Amino acid sequence: MKILVINNKGQYNHRIQRSLQYLQIPSELVSNDLSIEEIEAKEPMGLILGGGPSIDDVGNAAEYIKYFDIPILGICLGHQLIAKTFGGDVSTSSTESYAQVEIDIAKSEGLFKGIESPMAVWSSHKDEVNTLPENFEVLASSSLCDIESMKHLDKEIYGIQFHPEVHHTPKGEEIFKNFYEICQKYNEN
């Protein structure tokens, strides 16, 4: 079993895949145009929804969120897509920055297990989640954005506005390791 990285045509999707390979986490980068059946045939243990240029150009990624009952991690655009799929609101940020910011972690468990708050991250704030979807909780926030990270209350579905795959997020590897652990535990049941 492996984690599938859904390529939403963003500049960092290949870097997400390389980061997982470096950590020896079994994974594969796949197109967001694959059908549900094609994704199912790969028997994923989890999905990572990568970034991309537009929330209107995500292929079948929204369908994956609705269909699969496995851990899902949305990064940047993937985070926004999860929010939109569950009824949250996404809009253009008033700050529109692309820089290192400090996020305040509300819960140092699950995705943020073993990571101290505040955490330095490389974050893109062109678009952001500004209304939390129903049945989600905020895991992290910053001075630029109230919803830097969120989690579904009943499912292993996470969203992060920042990029754990770049060296400007020093603890980014821990995010991937924690997500892999979440996937392993989920698939043991």
Catalytic sites, residue numbers: 76, 163, 165
Cα 109 to Cα 82: distance, rounded to the nearest angstrom: 20
Sequence-ordered list of residues with C-beta below 8 angstroms from that of 65, at least 6 positions apart, any chain: 49, 72, 81, 82, 85, 86, 157
* 154 and 135 Cβ atoms separated by less than 8 Å: yes
Burial class, 134, CB count within 10 angstroms (exposed 0-12 / middle 13-18 / buried 19+): exposed
Give one DSSP letter per residue of 73-92, joined into a string.
EEETHHHHHHHHHTT-EEEE
Length of the chain counted residue by residue: 189
* 8 and 78 Cβ atoms separated by less than 8 Å: yes
